[in-house]
C-alpha cells in the first residue's frame, strides 16, 4: 500500500500529457474522419480518390512507423519545428485513426436506408438538406459504438508518444522501473490500471452506444 | 543528420531494412498463431456455467483489450522476471509473442464467439434431436458452420497484427522497424529507412486486405445468412479494428 | 347512382382543363430489362387515377419517375408545362440538374409502401421539417397546420411520439399527413397498404378516401385494392408488361371490360 502511495503521484505527473494527447488527437481524428468519410461517400470521383489514397496509406502502414516517420520527416521535409513532439504525436495518432474512422463514417452514411433519401426527395429537400437533416443525424447514431471503440484504440496509442520523449504516464513508469527494478511489477500494474480507468468512459459509451444506435435509425 | 531525403541513402538502406522482413513476418505468424490458440481459452472459460467466472473473464478480457499493448510488453519484458515465485526471464521474441498474442486473443475470442452464436439455434436442437454426442455435435454440426464465416475476420486481424508487431522493436526484436532504426542510428539518417518500412508495410498489407475483402464477399455468398448475421454482430464487438464499411449489398 | 353521376360530371369538367402532368412516349429500362415501353398519360388537376396490374408490370416505376426517383430512358414528362427531366441551356436541351428538378417537383408529393418516416424525429417534426426548411415557411404557422393535419388523420394525440412507437397503420397515416402539409397538387401513392397487417388496412384507406373526396389535388394510386379503386378513382389504368393495356372510367375498366388480360387479372383478385 505504501508503495502505491509512493508510485501514484509520480505517475500522475504524466496524466496531463496522456490526456491532452488523447483529446487533441481524438478531435483531429474526428474532424479528418468526417471530411474524408463524406468525401468517400460522395459521388465526386476526385474527392473520393483523394480520400481513398489518404485512407489506404494510413491504414496500410502501422502507427508506430508513421509516428517515427513524422518525428524525423516534419522538421526535415517542411523545415519547420512544430515546437514540440506533442504535435508530432497528436498528428500521427489523429491522422492514423482519422483514416480508420473515415471508413466508419462512410459506412454509416451508406447504411442509412435508401427510403430515407427517397422520402426527403419526395419532400423536395436539396441534397445538402437531405444530408444535414436526415442522413447525418441517423448516421451519427450508428457510428457511436465504433467511435467509442476507436477512441479506446487512440487512448492505447497515446502510450507510443513516450517513445518520442513525451512525458506521459508510461514515461514516468519507465523512469521508476529503471531506478528500482524490484518495483517494476507494481509500477506497470498501476500504469495499466490508470489507462483502464481512462478507458472506462469509452467502454461505457460503446456499450450504451449500441442500444442508442439502434434507436432513431432506419438502416438497411 | 542529413537535412533532406536522399535517394542514395534510400537505395543503400533498402537491402538492410529488408533483412528484417523475415523476422517481422515470422513474428506476425507466431503472434497470430498464439492468439488463435489463446482465443479458445477465453471461449472455453466463458462457457463455464458459473456466473462469477464468466464475469471475471469478461472484465479481464476488457482490461487487456483496453490497455496499451506497449505497456503490456514492458510488463512482460521488465517486470515479469522480478515477480516473486512465478517470474521468469523471457527472450524478447517470446515476450513479443506472449504480449501481442494475448492482447489480440481477446479480440479473436470475440470472433469465435460471434461465429458460434451465429449458428442457428435450430442447429443445436436438431443435433440434440439426432442424438449426437457432445463432441460430435461440436465437431460435425456446430464448428463446420461457425468457422467459415469467421475466416475473413480472422484474416483482417492477421493484417492488423502485422501492423502491430513493429512494436516489438522497443524490446529489441529485430524486425524491419528495428533495422530501420539501427540503420538510422549508425548513419544519422532515419527518414529514408523509415520510408522504406512504410512502403514495405503498404506493399504487403494493401493487397492482402483486398484479398480478404474478396474472400469476404465469397464467404458471404456461400454461407449467406450465417455470414451476414455474424458480420452484423461483429460490428458491435468492442474494440473492433475492422472496417465496418464493406457492406454486402 | 346519383353519386356516380356527380363523379362523371366532375371528371368531364376535369378533362377539359389543361393536364397538370403529361407523359409522352416515356420508356424505362434497367440494363437489358425494358420495364416501360412507351407510356402516354395525362393527369388533369384534381383527377384521381388508380393504377393496377400484375407484379413487375412497371406501376411503381411510372410514379417514381414523376417523383424524380428514377430517370426515364427516353421520352418526356411535362409538369405544369415544364419538362421535368430536361432543361434549356443556351438553347440546347440538356439533362436536368438538381435545381431544375427541385423547381419542377415542388408540387408533387409521395407516400411510400414502407412509410419511410424519419425515425429520429417525432411525428410532429416529421411533418414540420420540410415546410420549414424547404419552403421556408413560418414555423408557428407550419406547426399549427401540422397539428391540424395530424388531427385529421387521427393522430392528434401522438404528436410527440417517435415513429418506432406507432403501428404500421399509424405510421402510414403520419406519412400522409407529412406529404399533405407540403400542399402538393399531385399526390402519388405506391401500394401504401400492402406492407400493413390486414386489420390495419381499413384505417389507412379511410384516410385516403377522405382526402380524395374533400381535397382537390390530383392523385395517382398504385393499388391492389380493387373495391377501393372503384370507390375513389375517376380513371383506372391497367398496366401490363410495361404498357398501358387498358384505361378508362373506373367502372368501365373494373366492371365492364372486354380485355381478357384485365378480366383474368381481376378474376384472380376477386378470388384472393
Ligand atoms: N432499380 C432497379 N433495378 C433493376 N430492375 C428494377 C429496378 N426497379 C425495378 N426493376 C424491375 O422493373 C420491373 C418493374 O418494377 P416495378 O417495381 O415498377 O413493378 P410493379 O408493377 O410496381 O410491381 P409490384 O406490384 O411487385 O410492386 C420489375 O421487373 C423489377 O424487377
Ligand atoms: Mg410496386
Residue at B30 is within a domain: yes
Distance CA C266, CA C249 (A): 16
Closest residue by CA, ligand 1 atom 5: C30
The residue-averaged pLDDT of A108-129 equals 95
Residue at B21 is within a domain: yes
Q: Is the pLDDT of residue C14 over 60?
A: no
Q: What is the pLDDT of residue A110?
A: 94
Q: What is the pLDDT of residue B223?
A: 59
Helix axes B21-46, B176-187, angle to 10 degrees: 140
Q: Which residues of B touch A61 (CB under 8 A)?
A: 163, 197-198, 201-202, 205
Q: What is the pLDDT of residue B239?
A: 34
pLDDT tens digits for range A150-175: 999 999 999 999 999 899 999 999 99
Nearest alpha carbon to residue C204 among C131, C155, C147: C155
Distance CA C57, CA C63 (A): 13
Q: What is the pLDDT of residue B131?
A: 85
Q: What is the pLDDT of residue C4?
A: 45
Question: What's the gap between Cα B143 and its chain centre?
Answer: 21
Q: What is the pLDDT of residue B244?
A: 33
The residue-averaged pLDDT of C55-64 equals 95
Confidence band, pLDDT 50/70/90 cuts, at residue C2:
very low
Distance CA A148, CA A199 (A): 9
The residue-averaged pLDDT of C231-243 equals 93
Residue at A220 is within a domain: no
CA angle A109, A113, A118 (to 5 degrees): 105
* Number of domains into which chain B is organized: 1
pLDDT tens digits for range A183-193: 899 999 999 99
C242 CB-side CA count, 13 A: 13
Residue at A141 is within a domain: yes
Cell of B241: 479494428
- Cα distances from C176 to residues A103, A164, A202, C180, C188, in angstroms, run 36, 62, 41, 6, 10
**Do residues A141 and A218 make contact, with C-beta atoms less than 8 angstroms apart?**
no
Record: contact B68-A106, CB cut-off 8 A: no
Whole-structure pTM value = 0.87
Identify the domain containing residue A154 by its residue range. Answer: 2-213
Residue at A46 is within a domain: yes
Q: How many residues does chain B have?
A: 249
Residue C115 CA to ligand 2 center (angstroms) comes to 14
Residue of C nearest to A213 (CA): C120
CB C94 near ligand 1, within 6 Å: no
The DSSP line for chain B is --SS--HHHHHHHHHHHHTTHHHHHHHHHHHHHHHHHHHHHHHHHHTSS-HHHHHHHHHHHHHHHHS-HHHHHHIIIIIGGGSTTT-----HHHHHHHHHHHHHHHHHHHHHHHHHHHS-HHHHHHHHHTT--HHHIIIIIIHHHHHHHHHHHHHHHHHHHHHHGGGGGGGT--SHHHHHHHHHHHHT--HHHHHHHHHHHHHHHHHHHHHHHHHHHHHHHHTHHHHHHHHHHHTTSTT--S-TT----
The residue-averaged pLDDT of C204-226 equals 93
**Do residues C159 and C173 make contact, with C-beta atoms less than 8 angstroms apart?**
no
Pocket test for ligand 1, best of C34, C35, C221 (most atoms within 8 A of CB): C35
Q: Give the gap in angstroms from C-alpha B143 to the nearest C-alpha of chain A.
A: 28
Confidence band, pLDDT 50/70/90 cuts, at residue C15:
low
Residue at B244 is within a domain: no
Closest residue by CA, ligand 1 atom 26: C55
For residue C211, the cross-strand partners are: none
* Number of domains into which chain A is organized: 1
Best residue of A57, A62, A74, A160 to probe chain B, by most B CBs closer than 10 Å: A62
Residue at B108 is within a domain: yes
- Ligand number nearest CA of C112 is 2
Domain harbouring A147, CATH code: 1.10.3720.10
ipTM of the complex model:
0.91
Q: What is the pLDDT of residue C1?
A: 39
Confidence band, pLDDT 50/70/90 cuts, at residue C157:
very high
Q: Which residues of A touch B209 (CB under 8 A)?
A: 59-60
Q: What is the pLDDT of residue C133?
A: 96
pLDDT tens digits for range A42-88: 889 999 999 999 999 999 999 999 999 998 887 776 666 666 788 89
pLDDT tens digits for range C16-35: 688 999 999 999 999 999 99
A68 in contact with chain B, both atoms CB, cutoff 8 A = yes
Q: Is the pLDDT of residue A107 over 80?
A: yes
Identify the domain containing residue B84 by its residue range. Answer: 8-238
Residue at B247 is within a domain: no
The residue-averaged pLDDT of C1-21 equals 58
Q: Is the pLDDT of residue A220 over 80?
A: no
Q: What is the pLDDT of residue A79?
A: 64
Considering the domain delimited by C3-267, tell me its CATH architecture: 3-Layer(aba) Sandwich (3.40)
Q: Where are the beta strands (DSSP E) in C81-213?
A: 82-83, 86-89, 92-95, 108-111, 186-190
Distance CA C172, CA C153 (A): 10
Q: What is the pLDDT of residue A76?
A: 72
Smallest Cβ–Cβ distance between C67 and the set A122, A125, A134 belongs to A122
Return mean pLDDT, chain A. 91
Residue A126 or B240, more confident: A126
Q: What is the pLDDT of residue A209?
A: 79
Percent of chain C at pLDDT > 90 equals 78
Cell of C235: 380513371
Residue at A29 is within a domain: yes
The residue-averaged pLDDT of C139-146 equals 96
Domain harbouring B192, CATH code: 1.10.3720.10
Percent of chain C at pLDDT > 70 equals 93
Return mean pLDDT, chain B. 84
A53 in contact with chain B, both atoms CB, cutoff 8 A = no
Record: contact A218-C134, CB cut-off 8 A: no
Question: Which residues of chain B, if any, have pLDDT below 70?
Answer: 1-3, 222-249
Residue at B164 is within a domain: yes
Pocket test for ligand 1, best of C57, C191, C194 (most atoms within 8 A of CB): C57
Best residue of B1, B24, B71, B89 to probe chain A, by most A CBs closer than 10 Å: B71
Amino acid at each position: 500500500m505504501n508503495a502505491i502511495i509512493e508510485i501514484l503521484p509520480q505517475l500522475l505527473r504524466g496524466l496531463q500529457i496522456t490526456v491532452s494527447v488523447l483529446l487533441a488527437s481524438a478531435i483531429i481524428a474526428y474532424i479528418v474522419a468526417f471530411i474524408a468519410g463524406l468525401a468517400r461517400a460522395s459521388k465526386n470521383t476526385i474527392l473520393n480518390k483523394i480520400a481513398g489514397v489518404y485512407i489506404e496509406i494510413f491504414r496500410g502502414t502501422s502507427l508506430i512507423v508513421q509516428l517515427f516517420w513524422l518525428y524525423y520527416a516534419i522538421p526535415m521535409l517542411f523545415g519547420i519545428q512544430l515546437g514540440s513532439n506533442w504535435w508530432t504525436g497528436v498528428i500521427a495518432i489523429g491522422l492514423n485513426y482519422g483514416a480508420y474512422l473515415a471508413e466508419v463514417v462512410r459506412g454509416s452514411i451508406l447504411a442509412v436506408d435508401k427510403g430515407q433519401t427517397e422520402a426527403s426527395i419526395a419532400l423536395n429537400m436539396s441534397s445538402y438538406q437531405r444530408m444535414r437533416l436526415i442522413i447525418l443525424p441517423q448516421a451519427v447514431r450508428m457510428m457511436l459504438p465504433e467511435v467509442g471503440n476507436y477512441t479506446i484504440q487512440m487512448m492505447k496509442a497515446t502510450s507510443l508518444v513516450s517513445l518520442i520523449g513525451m512525458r506521459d504516464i508510461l514515461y514516468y513508469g519507465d523512469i521508476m522501473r529503471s531506478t528500482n527494478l524490484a518495483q517494476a511489477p507494481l509500477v506497470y500494474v498501476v500504469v495499466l490500471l490508470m489507462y483502464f480507468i481512462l478507458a472506462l468512459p469509452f467502454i461505457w459509451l460503446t456499450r450504451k452506444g449500441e442500444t442508442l444506435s439502434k434507436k432513431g435509425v432506419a438502416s438497411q | 543528420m542529413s537535412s533532406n531525403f536522399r535517394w542514395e541513402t534510400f537505395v543503400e538502406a533498402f537491402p538492410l531494412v529488408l533483412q528484417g522482413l523475415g523476422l517481422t513476418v515470422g513474428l506476425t505468424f507466431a503472434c497470430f498463431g498464439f492468439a488463435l490458440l489463446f482465443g479458445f481459452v477465453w471461449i472455453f472459460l466463458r462457457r463455464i456455467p458459473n456466473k462469477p467466472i464468466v464475469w471475471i473473464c469478461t472484465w479481464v478480457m476488457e482490461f487487456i483489450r483496453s490497455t496499451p499493448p506497449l505497456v503490456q510488453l514492458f510488463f512482460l519484458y521488465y517486470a515479469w522476471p522480478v515477480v516473486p515465485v512465478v517470474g521468469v526471464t523471457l527472450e524478447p521474441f517470446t515476450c513479443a509473442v506472449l504480449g501481442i498474442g494475448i492482447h489480440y486473443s481477446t479480440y479473436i475470442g470475440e470472433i469465435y464467439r460471434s461465429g458460434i452464436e451465429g449458428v442457428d439455434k435450430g442447429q443445436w436442437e436438431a443435433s440434440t434431436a439426432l442424438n449426437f454426442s457432445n463432441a460430435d455435435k461440436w465437431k460435425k454440426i456446430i464448428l463446420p458452420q461457425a468457422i467459415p464465416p469467421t475466416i475473413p475476420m480472422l484474416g483482417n486481424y492477421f493484417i492488423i497484427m502485422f501492423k502491430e508487431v513493429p512494436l516489438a522493436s522497443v524490446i529489441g526484436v529485430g524486425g524491419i522497424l528495428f533495422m530501420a532504426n539501427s540503420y538510422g542510428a549508425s548513419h544519422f539518417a532515419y527518414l529514408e529507412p523509415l520510408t522504406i518500412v512504410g512502403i514495405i508495410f503498404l506493399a504487403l498489407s494493401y493487397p492482402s486486405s483486398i484479398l480478404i475483402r474478396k474472400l469476404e464477399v465469397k464467404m458471404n455468398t456461400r454461407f449467406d445468412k450465417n455470414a451476414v448475421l455474424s458480420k452484423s454482430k461483429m460490428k458491435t464487438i468492442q474494440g473492433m479494428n475492422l472496417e465496418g464499411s464493406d457492406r454486402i449489398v | 347512382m346519383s353519386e356516380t353521376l356527380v363523379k362523371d360530371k366532375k371528371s368531364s369538367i376535369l378533362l377539359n382543363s389543361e393536364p397538370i402532368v403529361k407523359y409522352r412516349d416515356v420508356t424505362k429500362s434497367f440494363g437489358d430489362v425494358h420495364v416501360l415501353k412507351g407510356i402516354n398519360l395525362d393527369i388533369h388537376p384534381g383527377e384521381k387515377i388508380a393504377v393496377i396490374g400484375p407484379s413487375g408490370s412497371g406501376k411503381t416505376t411510372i410514379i417514381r419517375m414523376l417523383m424524380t426517383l428514377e430517370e426515364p430512358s427516353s421520352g418526356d414528362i411535362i409538369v405544369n408545362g415544364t419538362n421535368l427531366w430536361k432543361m434549356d441551356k443556351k438553347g440546347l436541351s440538356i439533362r436536368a440538374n438538381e435545381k431544375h428538378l427541385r423547381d419542377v417537383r415542388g408540387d408533387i408529393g409521395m407516400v411510400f409502401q414502407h412509410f419511410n418516416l424519419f425515425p429520429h424525429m417525432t411525428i410532429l417534426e416529421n411533418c414540420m421539417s420540410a415546410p420549414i426548411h424547404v419552403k421556408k415557411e413560418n414555423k408557428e404557422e407550419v406547426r399549427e397546420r401540422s397539428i391540424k393535419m395530424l388531427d385529421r388523420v387521427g393522430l392528434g394525440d401522438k404528436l410527440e411520439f417517435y415513429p418506432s412507437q406507432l403501428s404500421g397503420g399509424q405510421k402510414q397515416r403520419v406519412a400522409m399527413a407529412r406529404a399533405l402539409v407540403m400542399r402538393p397538387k399531385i399526390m402519388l401513392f405506391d401500394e401504401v397498404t400492402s406492407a400493413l397487417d390486414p386489420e390495419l388496412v381499413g384505417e389507412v384507406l379511410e384516410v385516403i378516401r377522405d382526402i380524395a373526396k374533400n381535397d382537390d389535388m390530383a392523385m395517382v394510386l398504385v393499388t391492389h385494392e380493387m373495391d377501393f379503386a372503384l370507390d375513389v378513382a375517376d380513371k383506372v389504368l391497367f398496366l401490363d408488361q410495361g404498357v398501358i393495356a387498358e384505361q378508362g372510367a373506373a367502372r368501365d375498366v373494373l366492371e365492364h371490360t372486354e380485355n381478357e388480360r384485365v378480366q383474368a387479372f381481376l378474376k384472380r383478385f376477386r378470388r384472393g
